[in-house]
Amino acid sequence: MTTSTAAELIARSHRLGSDPKNTNYAGGNTSAKGTETDPVTGEPVELLWVKGSGGDLGTLREPGLAVLRLDRMRALVDVYPGVDREDEMVAAFDYCLHGKGGAAPSIDTAMHGLVDAAHVDHLHPDSGIAIATAADGEALTATIFGDEVVWVPWRRPGFQLGLDIAEIKEKNPQAVGCILGGHGITAWGDTSEEAEARSLWIIDTAAAHIAEHSRPEPFGPALEGYAALPEEERRAKAAALGATIRGIASQDRPMVGHFTDSEVVLDFLARSEHPRLAALGTSCPDHFLRTKVKPLVLDLPASASVEDSVARLRELAVSYREDYQAYYDRHATPDSPAIRGADPLVVLVPGVGMFSYGKDKQTARVAGEFYTNAINVMRGAEGLSTYAPIDESEKFRIEYWALEEAKLQRMPAPKPLATRIAVVTGAAGGIGKATAKRLVAEGACVVVADLSLEKAQAAAAEIGGPDVAVGVAADVSDEAAVQAMVDAAVLAFGGVDLVVNNAGLSLSKSLLETTEADWDLQHNVMAKGSFLVSKAAARVLIDQGMGGDVIYISSKNSVFAGPHNIAYSATKADQAHQVRLLAAELGEHGVKVNGVNPDGVVAGSGIFASGWGANRAAVYGVEEKDLGKFYAQRTILKREVLPEHIANAVFVLCGPDLTHTTGLHVPVDAGVSAAFLR
């Protein structure tokens, strides 16, 4: 049951969390204290509701709140063993839970419980962190807020920080909150409205002070040659570089990418101070796991050619990895978790934008958002003073914190196709849509391509949101359209790992009836179309250096000879031989090429719905609706073949088990002996 205290807290959290000026994604936490009746004793009991570990304020729901007994939580002060062992207190929170306790209590629970105020907000606003990371943050806090907001020197989040803030509140009864050095803000109030109003006042007052007092060009003067390229050129260069950069970011483990070319990013990269500031790295504790301590920055102007940029990026990737390993070695102790990989998670390219990476699209996008927050913070801090993030050793302590490591270890195992980016052609319906759906269910991100943008987008929306599926228009017989489709995959998800050549159509005509135009259409869409798609995708697969799969949906008709099928079956045979040719050619890049030979897939197939089915039904003297069952009776297994059965074969071919198979065709036809492969 939602209590009024919890409901009020959730509403406040939504208001604060939905505005990015107030806090970063999943950053910060809010709490409320109140009295309920203890169901065991019937007596009143004081409780603390606080946002639990993980989750985002903007979308917080009741199960995201931890509920603790305030008396027990506060009693922890008496057993607190000191700052060296403060991490042990997180496990102790579990002994303070009320009822089932809701979400797991976060490290910030102490701050919320120990501060003597009914309502507490802890937030990570860009404006507040700008003050918190200014070299003279303490003096600035006094100048901006007088004695109403108190400076708290940097301390890693935990029990001791909670004790510090509680003491500050007690010693400064006039104060409404504090600036936490290197980190964020905390505000409190007797009512929910008061806490919220004070949070907003601190955030807006800091922002107004920066706006009024900032020096004119906080990132320095514009650098000659580093201005943003015009949009079209910028996107084309991003697409041309994307595969190489994803490969660089995926040397330790494969990553999904996100591309941002916002004004904030482009302006930062266009100015003289960006190399110095980027090297200083981020500061807010949320950032290190998501963005690493610092980004990789390409040190070439916007006009640099793709070739020169690729060559330089590859050099910089080597030094980035060496630097990161050295950073780990400088700070790791025998108890530190193992290094989590030395690849950059954020790569900045002047004139073009920011590439950010993560284990899935959402994580990659949030890494980009976090770095945008970092740029805003640096602009504010440099405008008033000098940006001075926390020490490298403290960054390391947070990045390799045992509690964070434990959280990572608790994550569920990734799905078999996690991080893989698929392009499925002709995927608005039939076999293509079923395949796209299956790939997404197994963890892949999918570009759904088809002739009609509207239908491709509708299929993508049905399969999942933009973090897993995007729809694009692409006629596979048009080389420029195919390149645009592959570029769209690179810009949407970072690259391509898996191509399904599925687009097709079927005209059933005798040799004498088949026109030149019929022949050309069939061959343009299937033989030429899959050639063009394989070629454009292979460029990306090779640049990435991450292996990959190309799968052709050819047909039983690629080997079976029957009347009235010259154009369709000939082009299917062409596709089938492309499988073998490309398997032989792309193997050196770790790319497997395989095919599926379906037959008699009536349900859901546009080919059958658009006349071919009626024609076949008439030929066989059955009703069109019974055609699937009719075909089933002709098979050895007497089973009807559905689009999902083709999708199953695609998954097996690109999934975790068939790692050593290339150049294979898998019949999915319920058994047709005339089409047996030998």
Ligand X SMILES: NC(=O)c1ccc[n+]([C@@H]2O[C@H](COP(=O)([O-])OP(=O)(O)OC[C@H]3O[C@@H](n4cnc5c(N)ncnc54)[C@H](O)[C@@H]3O)[C@@H](O)[C@H]2O)c1
**Interface of this chain with ligand X, residues 478 to 507, rule: CB under 6 A:** 502-506
DSSP letters along 575-589, please?
A: HHHHHHHHHHHHGGG
Q: How many CA atoms lie within 13 A of 220 on its CB side?
A: 14
User: Does residue 628 bind ligand X (CB under 6 A)?
Assistant: no
Among 477, 514, 534, 578, the residue binding ligand X under the rule CB under 6 A is: 477
Site string for ligand X, 266-295 (x = CB under 6 A): ------------------------------
**Interface of this chain with ligand X, residues 574 to 613, rule: CB under 6 A:** 598-601, 605-607
User: Does residue 426 bind ligand X (CB under 6 A)?
Assistant: yes
Side-by-side strand order, sheet with 296-297? 256-260, 353-358, 346-349, 296-297
> What's the DSSP call for residue 175?
-
* Catalytic entry in 80, 568, 620, 631: 568
Q: Are 411 and 363 in contact (CB under 8 A)?
A: no
Among 111, 469, 476, 532, the residue binding ligand X under the rule CB under 6 A is: 476
Cβ atoms within 10 Å of 526's Cβ, excluding its own: 31
Among ligand X, Zn ion, none, partner that 476 touches (CB below 5 to 8 angstroms by kind): ligand X
Q: Are 17 and 56 in contact (CB under 8 A)?
A: yes
Beta strands (DSSP E) in 280-425 are 296-297, 346-349, 353-358, 421-425
Q: Give the three-state DSSP class for 594.
A: strand
Instruction: Find the shortest distance in angstroms from Cβ 440 to ligand X.
Output: 17
Report d(CA 450, CA 431) in Å as an integer: 12
Residues that bind ligand X (rule: CB under 6 A) add up to a total of: 29
Among 525, 533, 573, 650, the residue binding ligand X under the rule CB under 6 A is: 525
Report d(CA 309, CA 290) in Å as an integer: 25
**Interface of this chain with Zn ion, residues 177 to 196, rule: CB under 5 A:** 184
User: Does residue 241 bind ligand X (CB under 6 A)?
Assistant: no
User: Does residue 565 bind ligand X (CB under 6 A)?
Assistant: no
Beta bridge partners of 246: none
Dig out the tokens for 658 from the structure.
Answer: 């068939």
Instruction: Find the shortest distance in angstroms from Cβ 541 to ligand X.
Output: 20
Length of the chain: 678
User: Does residue 223 bind ligand X (CB under 6 A)?
Assistant: no
568 annotated active-site: yes
For Zn ion, the closer CB: 153 or 221? 153
Report d(CA 520, CA 359) in Å as an integer: 43
Instruction: Find the shortest distance in angstroms from Cβ 528 to ligand X.
Output: 10
Dig out the tokens for 258 from the structure.
Answer: 């996100």
Instruction: Find the shortest distance in angstroms from Cβ 211 to Zn ion.
Output: 24
For Zn ion, the closer CB: 128 or 254? 128
For ligand X, the closer CB: 73 or 650? 650
* 554-448-434 Cα angle (round to 5): 60
For Zn ion, the closer CB: 372 or 425? 372
**Could you give the residue numbers annotated as active site?**
568
Contact residues toward Zn ion (CB under 5 A) are 184
Contact residues toward ligand X (CB under 6 A) are 425-426, 428-432, 450-451, 474-477, 502-506, 525, 529, 553, 555, 598-601, 605-607
